[in-house]
Structure 1
Amino acid sequence: MAPLVIAFFYERISLYRSRGYSVEDCVELDQDETIEAIAQSLRSNGYEVVLVRDVKELVNRIAKGEHEKSDLAFSISEGMYGVGREAQVPGLLEAYRIPHALSDAATLALCLDKGKTKMVLEHQGIPTAPFAVVPALWTPNDFPLFIKPACEGSSKGIYPFSKVTSPSELKDGVQKLQARFPGQSILVEKYLTGHEYTVSLLGTGDSAKVLGSLQVNWSNPADGGFYTVSNKNEQGNEHLDQFVDAHNNPEVQAAEDLALRTWHALECCDVGRVDVRFGANGKPYVLELNPLPGLCPQWSSLVQTAEYHRISHEVLLGRIVESSLQRYPSLREKQTTIHWHLDPEPEVTTLGPKVHAKPLNTTK
């Protein structure tokens, strides 16, 4: 029986930097080492991996009829343009009825838009910080507030001025963000002052489980109490997080329960993260949902959480694919002798320590 053929989609940060894009433009894209490590981990699970690259390459292969030669797609493609960019590859895959791992196009498009996500969460009765989306007829009177672009990830568009304490700071900050991210809504929400947790999840529907949680460490005053594009992504900026256990810890348990409710409410699939922060009232609130998490060995929060719980990168990737195959049972027995041309096999990247500093583009 021939191995299952997985088409792997991604964007290399090195390629887009060579084309003149800025560091911040590329902050959500992946390093060569991450791409190679994911491909190798998939191969280690017995799958044949075809490196397809981005949405433009997918379009070219569809035009040639080559999209029919794979069994399953695995996309970490972020896209570069438009507020629905993370959904572009999955949307094409679904249009051509190609099975794929991770969440569907509708969920990815929704979750990237933090404003619309918060609207759905409110409708579902899931607590999230009070918010408004600019432009809106709203007079703020509950400072401090927090402002950020509604459709970015990896703390892109978050700067020290994102925490605002007065109407003048709010006006100035929103104008700066509108100039930097034209055509994109700006999210304004209540600034939460309590503990922050990153909850990692595996599975879909009733099979979804919490993998584990990290408590974000804000003990360094220089951090400002929140992630910016700099303190989250730039190499050399150490930021140490603490693994936490829900057992006998009601706060962590509350964060994980809320994360799992959120995962179900948004109908996410296979793997992802939910970031939760507590308010001054002691209640947890969803900061954001990431159904397309970073999978970089050594650095990404979800991978570090898995390793802490003795799940290697290879096993983690295998479980993600196995979860996706629950939606496509026919693939378990499917045989294929048609393969796309394979790029050279990458080397395995060694996993790092459990407490970590986070470099560029690997912290989603």
Structure 2
Amino acid sequence: MAPLVIAFFYESFSLYRSRGYSVEDCVELDQDQTIEAVAQSLRSNGYEVVLVGDVKELVSRIANGEHELWDLAFSISEGIYGAGREAQVPGLLEAYRIPHVLSDAATLALCLDKGKTKMILEHHGIPTAPFAIVPALWDSYDPIIKTVSQLVERSVHAEELKDFPLFIKPACEGSSKGIYPFSRVTCPSELEAGVKKLQSQFFGQSILVEKYLTGNEYTVSLLGTGSYAKVLGSLQINWSNPVDGGFLTISNKNEEGNDHLEQLVDAHNNPEVQAAEDLALRAWRALECCDVGRVDVRFGANGKPYVLELNPLPGLRPQWSNLVKTAEYHGISHKMLLGRVVDSCLQRYPDLRQKRRDM
């Protein structure tokens, strides 16, 4: 029997740079080596891979009827425009009833919006840093609320946000895009100026204001869905050296030569790591994320862990992405990892699972 056919979606960093987009515009997009590695790992697991590309290419293929030849879709497409850009390819796939790997469109759109994600986490009683949201449509010309500080004072977390430092970032970005040294604010004037800068650069996007956490930070990798989900392992971001700044910015996250910030850790006999992993798994299940991803956790000065954000569309670049490095640390090769990701997806599609077994 013929192998399952997987349509593969992505945006190439080099292609979009050649179209005139800036490095920062493209920071979330995938390098050619990532695209090639994912495709090869899928082929090595016995799948036929059709390289498609971005959402516009998907529209073209559907118009030509080519989608009828696909069994399954695998999208690492980050999208370019809009707060729901990571959900654009999955949303179109779902409209045409094309099964796909990773979380559904609704979950991807939700998790990209850090403010709305925090609201859902609070609903489930999952700790996240106290926060306030500067709405996308707000500006200082508002007749009632004229300052960011006044907005913060209206938050249910107003009391906890009275004391600085606070942390500001655009609500709907990834790869630390929109996070700069000025994101850590130490007084009201810095808060006002910082939010104004972010609003100017990320027009039409809400800005998240949250309590700055000073404890240890972990990125927890997970595999599976629902009750089948489990922790793969964790990587600690080491902020012991003040020179490193204390938090990930677009520069120190994405530049070469910052390996000293990362340390793979085991939960065995380490209560703090175990607490981070337990919290990450709770968040993963609460947001109904699927197949594979990461949850970032940081501890507060009170010694308690808080969820920073969830990433249900994780990087899959060999020797680079935190998820891949964590898997490799635990003896899981790139090929094995991608095989397990698709196996997790097939649990949701019995007909495809049976076809896979019959191969």
Q: Give me the TM-score of the superposition, normalised by structure 2.
A: 0.92
Determine which of 324, 330, 335 is the counterpart of 1:309. 330
Tell me the equivalent position of 1:196.
Answer: 217
Shift of 1:130: 0.2
Structure 1: tracts of 5 or more residues without a match? 336-364
Shift of 1:141: 1.7
Whole-angstrom distance in 2 between the partners of 1:238 and 1:256: 22
Shift of 1:332: 2.5
Amino acid at match of 2:254: N
Determine which of 171, 183, 186 is the counterpart of 1:150. 171
Whole-angstrom distance in 2 between the partners of 1:287 and 1:112: 12
Tell me the equivalent position of 1:256.
Answer: 277
Whole-angstrom distance in 1 between the partners of 2:9 and 2:172: 21
Amino acid at match of 2:340: R
Determine which of 218, 221, 231 is the counterpart of 1:210. 231
Determine which of 157, 171, 181 is the counterpart of 2:202. 181
What is the CA deviation profile of residues 229-279 of structure 1, one whole-angstrom value per residue up to 9, with x for unaligned ones? 001102344443111111111111110000000001000000000000000
Amino acid at match of 2:100: H
Tell me the equivalent position of 2:243.
Answer: 222
Whole-angstrom distance in 1 between the partners of 2:263 and 2:204: 37
- Equivalence map 1:1-364=2 (5 Å): 1-135=1-135, 137-139=151-153, 140-334=161-355
Whole-angstrom distance in 2 between the partners of 1:175 and 1:292: 29
What is the CA deviation profile of residues 201-222 of structure 1, one whole-angstrom value per residue up to 9, with x for unaligned ones? 0000110000000111112322
CA contact (8 A) 1:14 1:32 kept: yes
CA contact (8 A) 1:155 1:227 kept: yes
Tell me the equivalent position of 1:360.
Answer: none
CA contact (8 A) 1:232 1:239 kept: no
Per the alignment, in what secondary structure is the counterpart of residue 333 of structure 1?
Answer: helix
CA contact (8 A) 2:9 2:51 kept: yes
Identity percentage of aligned residues: 84
Tell me the equivalent position of 2:158.
Answer: none
Whole-angstrom distance in 1 between the partners of 2:72 and 2:57: 16
CA contact (8 A) 2:213 2:299 kept: yes
Shift of 1:45: 0.3
Per the alignment, in what secondary structure is the counterpart of residue 8 of structure 2?
Answer: strand
Shift of 1:101: 0.4
Whole-angstrom distance in 2 between the partners of 1:221 and 1:123: 35
Whole-angstrom distance in 1 between the partners of 2:74 and 2:3: 15
Amino acid at match of 1:109: A
Whole-angstrom distance in 1 between the partners of 2:276 and 2:214: 15
CA contact (8 A) 2:218 2:237 kept: yes
Per the alignment, in what secondary structure is the counterpart of residue 261 of structure 2?
Answer: coil
Shift of 1:198: 0.5
Shift of 1:100: 0.4
Q: Give me the TM-score of the superposition, normalised by structure 1.
A: 0.90
Per the alignment, in what secondary structure is the counterpart of residue 215 of structure 2?
Answer: coil
Whole-angstrom distance in 2 between the partners of 1:227 and 1:27: 14
Whole-angstrom distance in 2 between the partners of 1:237 and 1:207: 34
The one of the two structures with greater contact order (alpha-carbon pairs below 8 A, sep at least 6) is 1
Per the alignment, in what secondary structure is the counterpart of residue 355 of structure 2?
Answer: coil
Amino acid at match of 2:297: V
Structure 2: tracts of 5 or more residues without a match? 136-147, 154-160
Whole-angstrom distance in 2 between the partners of 1:332 and 1:110: 28
Whole-angstrom distance in 2 between the partners of 1:235 and 1:284: 29
CA contact (8 A) 2:8 2:50 kept: yes
Shift of 1:223: 1.7
Whole-angstrom distance in 1 between the partners of 2:271 and 2:261: 22
What is the CA deviation profile of residues 175-216 of structure 1, one whole-angstrom value per residue up to 9, with x for unaligned ones? 000011000000000000000001000000110000000111
Whole-angstrom distance in 2 between the partners of 1:26 and 1:239: 25
Per the alignment, in what secondary structure is the counterpart of residue 138 of structure 1?
Answer: helix
Whole-angstrom distance in 1 between the partners of 2:254 and 2:274: 28
Per the alignment, in what secondary structure is the counterpart of residue 33 of structure 1?
Answer: helix
Whole-angstrom distance in 1 between the partners of 2:350 and 2:26: 36
Shift of 1:301: 0.3
Shift of 1:124: 0.5
Amino acid at match of 1:160: P
What is the CA deviation profile of residues 267-317 of structure 1, one whole-angstrom value per residue up to 9, with x for unaligned ones? 000000000000000100000000000000000000000000000000000
Per the alignment, in what secondary structure is the counterpart of residue 148 of structure 1?
Answer: strand
Q: Aligned-residue CA RMSD in angstroms?
A: 1.1
Number of aligned residue pairs: give it. 335
- Runs (4+) of structure 1 exceeding 3 A deviation are 236-240
Distance 1:250 1:238, change over 3 A: closer
CA contact (8 A) 2:347 2:353 kept: no
What is the CA deviation profile of residues 83-122 of structure 1, one whole-angstrom value per residue up to 9, with x for unaligned ones? 0000000000000000000000000000000000000000
